[in-house]
Structure 1
Amino acid sequence: MHEVKMLCMANSWKHQERCIAGLLKNGTWVRPVSTAQGGAITEDQCQLDVGRPIQPLDLVRLPIEKAAPILHQPENQLIANKPWLLLKEKKAENNKVVSLLTRSEHKKDTLFGTEDDKISWSSIERQGLAESLVLVRAVGPYFRRKRTWSGRTQIRSGFTFAGTDYDLPVTFEASHILQEGKNFTQSSSDWWFTVSLGGAFRPYGYQEKYCYMLIAGAIEIPN
């Protein structure tokens, strides 16, 4: 077992549990998981020693049992059965935070090698994945509510990256961005989005399984 200092960038929903992701000081991504197969983190597991759940921009000391990469999520790290310690509550205005996040911004021309919002499982099996987490600077994104084919309401955000328009589901708690009763808002700010690849599933009407992109965390960039 060892410990790492991680700046939390995402605390989002995953199958009624939590998907946590963060950055190390050198810009390396970490996704804590509860099992070697990529199991989500429970509410109890992501409680900090101060009595509250981890939240974006918390600097925490995280106990790691071992690296646990899986095919579509190479950043996974299996957590040890020890408390998560809060070292500091950081702010987006903090110079060190701004420096780290600016250096960690995704520099490639596409997200995960595609201009689509998903990657086929057969492609991942054939080619593998170098990464499943990226930090994107989204310039003036919009947020909207959409009713899915299953009838539930989903919040999505649209932004342009390297000339490609993306419209991705938001999986973190976003009521502070798009209030109840509103269906659309255009942000006047830029944001740092933590874009993650979800697990493989077969959408209705498709023959193949896909891993879809989603926005697991968002931090408004200070002016």
Structure 2
Amino acid sequence: MTRIICLANSWKHGDRCIAGINEVNGNWVRPISDLRDGQIPKEMRHINRLEPALLDVIDIPLAKTGPDFGFECENLSILPGKWQHVGKVSSSFLLKYFRDQAYILHNDLRFVTVNYMQSLPRENRQSLQLIKAVKFTVKMVSQRFEGGNKWEGSIVTAYNQKLTATITDPVFTRRLDLGYRPEKACLITVSLSMPWRPDGWEGDDPCWKLIAGVIELEEDIIY
């Protein structure tokens, strides 16, 4: 079993993408199913019929390797067995895993190309990052086919790094639909999508930066 702090449970092809940090070594982990793009169906991810929530500490049966789709380094294949909920942490507990980097996922654009990722050593093909946003604003951009609205978030860090990206955190977008707006500093999981070329796209295949999990910072450690 591999123990992670869940930092993303986001939409992926009608199912979900789960990701988190291994609390022992601080490495990112993205469990991958044997479906085409590795998305995780509910019968695999549910724990006592409940979705893994952000800040949950969960044990997942994982292999030591997994398909990287040619550009990701965090993926581990899911093995047979039940997922287990073993605890929960506060948002402030996560601060020890936060590391400032020069960019939000490799550059100051909204995407990273597959060719660029493949030019890096495998261990540097980072497709998940924990960002501390000192300012985080949201905007509704359209309606989703599955109901609810599609939202974008704009991140500003203490070092004036900026990113505007689609929000794929279902729980957070539901709160936005109900009128909630973030007011505190946030820890945000930014993830790269699978390659997707918009109509008329020219150039290398882009992987789009997504806001996959949003956690407002609190004070007390509860785990």
The interval holding the TM-score normalised by the smaller chain is 0.7 to 0.9
Match of 2:141 among 137, 140, 146: 146
1:191, distance to aligned residue in structure 2 (A): 0.7
**One of 96, 113, 123 as aligned partner of 1:120:** 113
Q: Alignment partner of 2:140: what SS?
A: strand
Map 1:20-169 to 2 at 5 A. Answer: 20-25=18-23, 26-35=25-34, 38-48=37-47, 50-70=48-68, 71-92=70-91, 98-99=92-93, 101-127=94-120, 129-147=124-142, 153-161=149-157, 162-169=159-166
**CA gap 1:175/1:37 in 2 versus in 1, 3 angstroms:** closer
How far did residue 194 of structure 1 move? 0.5
SS in 2 for 1:168: strand
Alpha-carbon offset, residue 164 of structure 1: 2.8
Contact 2:113 2:206 in 1 (8 A): yes
Of the candidates 17, 25, 30, which is equivalent to residue 19 of structure 1? 17
Report how many aligned residue pairs link the two structures.
209
Q: Tell me, yes or no, if the aligned pair for 1:72 and 1:197 is still in contact at 8 Å.
A: no
Alignment partner of 1:68: what SS?
coil
Native 8 Å contact 2:57 2:89 kept in 1? yes
User: TM-score, normalised on structure 1?
Assistant: 0.85
Instruction: State the identity as a percent.
Output: 25
Report the CA distance between 1:140 and its aligned residue.
2.7
Q: 1:106 to 1:203 in 2, by over 3 A?
A: farther
C-alpha separation between the residues in 1 aligned to 2:30 and 2:9? 10
TM-score (norm 2): 0.85
Instruction: Out of 162-171 and 211-220, give the one that drifted further.
Output: 162-171
Unaligned runs of 5+ in 2: none
Work out the CA distance in 2 between the residues paired with 1:207 and 1:112: 21
Amino acid aligned to 1:135: L
Answer yes or no: is 1:219 the counterpart of 2:211: no
Quote the offset at 1:52 in angstroms: 1.4
Large movers: runs of 4+ above 6 Å? none
CA distances 1:37-68 after superposition (whole Å, capped 9, x unpaired): 651111111011x3312111111111013311
**Structure number with higher helix proportion:** 2
Name the CA distance, whole Å, in 2 between partners of 1:169 and 1:175.
10
For residues 169-208 of structure 1, the C-alpha deviation after alignment (integer angstroms, 9 at most, x for no partner) is 100112454134x5x94x3201110100110111111123
Corresponding position: 1:199 with 2:187: no
Question: 5+ unaligned residues in a row in structure 1: which ranges?
Answer: 93-97
Whether the aligned pair in 2 keeps the contact of 1:63 and 1:84 (CA below 8 Å) is: yes
